[in-house]
Amino acid sequence: MLCEGRITIVLFSHIHGLFYRVRNKISRTLKKYRWQEIPHCEQTTVLTESHQLFEPLLAGPSTFLPHCVGVEAVRGVLPIIESLGADPYLDFVKGYYRKGLAEFGDEWSYADMSTVLYGVCKVLNVQSYLEIGVRRGRSMAVVASMHPQCRIVGFDLWIPDYCGVDNPGRDFVRAELEKVNYRGAVEFVDGNSRKTVPEYFRKHSETYFDLVTVDGDHSIGGAVRDLKNVIPRIKIGGILVFDDISSYEHPYLLKVWNKLVANNRRFAAYSFTELGLGVGFAIRRY
């Protein structure tokens, strides 16, 4: 019996080792192909033609966190959004920022999509930015203020009276970008992102982005489709931002984020769910 037990262990170990050798070889081949074929961010990757000991990713979320979460980011975003046109939602956010700073000072830990974009843009040299869900251009203005010459592509349906707030359209957003001294090329694509994003990439088959924000259709199907449509077009070392992962109105978005991104080995991810509507951001490994 003892001998049979040892044989079983040896056989299991052999099969186990063989399985992982095959799996790892397939994984390395797939990663190598993607690293060679997909553009990468020079700043956040190390890619060599010789032996690639590590995955190319040079900076993970921890590198960006000090600039994305906390008072440094809030104080950086506040003057940007103060320069924009007022609306009830934006007025609430500004008041929330000010009270948090007044009550807790340097100890306040808070993050939202604007602070994450601010922190990412403070560290990363963003040359191209894609945004799904533009509305009045607040998030886009944060990116534009930090990188005034980057190329921006925004997708929106421009639904009137969206969430009870005026949704004035592309000309209004262009004017908002001018307030933060944006001087780059911005392109707006009108329509349902489920259709317009794939159509855009079919027409621009060689286009990849340093930074992508998904904050559009909040139905579970719409959110999944938006993420699946943009993920292949994020550069290696590029960053994806996803909003509202702790929204009480859309509790399923956290599960969508976790399944498609946070628990996906293709990304190194961070999620903030303590306060506000929650936000996640992730850096693409391969």
Query: Can you tell me the distance from the alpha carbon of 250 to that of 253, in angstroms, rounded to the nearest whole number?
Result: 6
* Interval 237-249: pLDDT, tens: 999 999 999 999 9
Average pLDDT for 42-69: 92
Helix (H, G, I), strand (E, B) or coil at 119: helix
Q: How confident is the model at residue 15 (pLDDT cuts 50, 70, 90)?
A: confident
Which has the higher per-residue pLDDT, 7 or 132?
A: 132
* Interval 16-53: pLDDT, tens: 766 767 776 676 677 777 778 899 999 999 988 777 88
| Highest mean pLDDT, choosing among 9-23, 46-60, 117-131 | 117-131
Rg for the chain, CA atoms, rounded: 21
Query: Can you tell me the distance from the alpha carbon of 47 to that of 35, in angstroms, rounded to the nearest whole number?
Result: 8
Query: Can you tell me the distance from the alpha carbon of 65 to that of 139, in angstroms, rounded to the nearest whole number?
Result: 18
Regarding the domain delimited by 61-284, which CATH topology (the fold level of the hierarchy) does it fall under?
A: Rossmann fold (3.40.50)
pLDDT at 24: 67
Closest C-alpha to 236, from 53, 30, 34, 52:
34
pLDDT at 2: 53
Q: What integer best gives the mean pLDDT of the chain?
A: 92
H or E element that contains 76: helix 71-82
This prediction's pTM: 0.90
Helix (H, G, I), strand (E, B) or coil at 137: coil
pLDDT at 92: 96
Helix (H, G, I), strand (E, B) or coil at 270: strand
* Interval 139-172: pLDDT, tens: 999 999 999 999 999 999 998 877 667 788 999 9
Question: Which of 32-46, 198-212, 251-265 bottoms out in mean pLDDT, i.e. has the lowest?
Answer: 32-46
Query: Can you tell me the distance from the alpha carbon of 163 to that of 245, in angstroms, rounded to the nearest whole number?
Result: 18
Q: Decide: residue 91, CB within 10 A, 0-12 exposed, 13-18 middle, 19+ buried.
A: exposed
pLDDT at 260: 98
Question: Which of 44-53, 130-139, 176-185 bottoms out in mean pLDDT, i.e. has the lowest?
Answer: 44-53
